[in-house]
Amino acid sequence: MPVIVFDFDGTIADTLDAIVTIANRLAPEFGFTPVSQREVESYRNLNAREVIRRSRIPLVKIPFLIRRVQAELNREIQHLNPIIGVMSVLTTLRQRGHRLGIVTSNSSVNVTTFLKKQGLESMFDFIHSGATLFGKSRIMKQLLAREGLTPGEIIYVGDETRDIDAAQAVKITMISVAWGFNTAETLARHHPDFLIHHPYELLELLDHNRPRFP
C-alpha cells in the first residue's frame, strides 16, 4: 500500500488569499509592487521562477521575505480552513491503512498549528519542511532516506508545477490537483502522472489503479 505524501499550501490548507494579503502588506518594505486579484489569477499560469520575475522581487530579499510571510502567517493560520473535501478524504485514506505525510516549503510550526486546530494532527506520520521556493527535489530525496522508502512506494499529491518537477526528478508518481495555485492547464503542460479536480477523485484514482498502486 503506497505512502501518500501531500503538499500543504493549496493542497490541504486554503492559504493563498492570506499569503497574498501578507505579501502585499510587506511589499513596500521589500521593494516590490503589491499585486491585484487579477494579477494573482495571471500568476496561476506561471511557475515559481516566472512569478518572481513578473513580481520583480529582488532575489536577494526572497529568503527574508519568505521567513516574514511565514511568521505573519503563523498569526492567522489557525483561522484558515482546509480545502473543502480534503478532511473526509484524509480520514478515508487512514481508515484504508495508508501512511500519510507532508512535504512543504511552509514552516513545520505553521503546519502543525493548522493540523492541531483542524483535528488532523494524528492523520500524518511525518512532516518534512524546508523545500525552497524554487524546488522540492532535495527534500524529497531526504524524505526517502529518512523514512526508509523507495520512489515506488510513494505517491505525491500537490498543486504546483514545482511539485511535478520534484516528483519527476526522484521518479515518484505525481498526482497534481487543480484546486490550488497553478491552473489545470499549467499543470498539464508539465505532464504529471495524473491530474484531478476534486479531493474525492484521489480515492477513485487509487481504486481504479490498484495494480499500479499495490
Residue tagged 506561471 (cell numbers): 46
Q: Is 7 one of the catalytic residues?
A: yes
Cell of 126: 511525518
Sign of the dihedral defined by the CA atoms of residues 164, 167, 168, 172, in that order: negative
| Contact of 30 with 64, CB cutoff 8 Å | yes
Helix 86-95 to helix 200-208 angle (10° resolution) is 40
Measured CA to CA, the distance from residue 192 to residue 199 in angstroms comes to: 16
Residue 39 CB contacts under 8 Å (≥ 6 apart), including other chains: none
What's the Cα-to-Cα distance from 155 to each of 18, 91, 127, 213, rounded to whole Å? 28, 17, 15, 9
Please choose, from the candidates 209, 212, 210, 168, the residue with its C-alpha nearest in 3D space to the C-alpha of residue 192: 168
SS3 53: helix
Amino acid at site 64: F
Cell numbers of 44, please? 496561476
Single out the catalytic residue among 7, 9, 159, 163: 7
Could you list the active site residues? 7
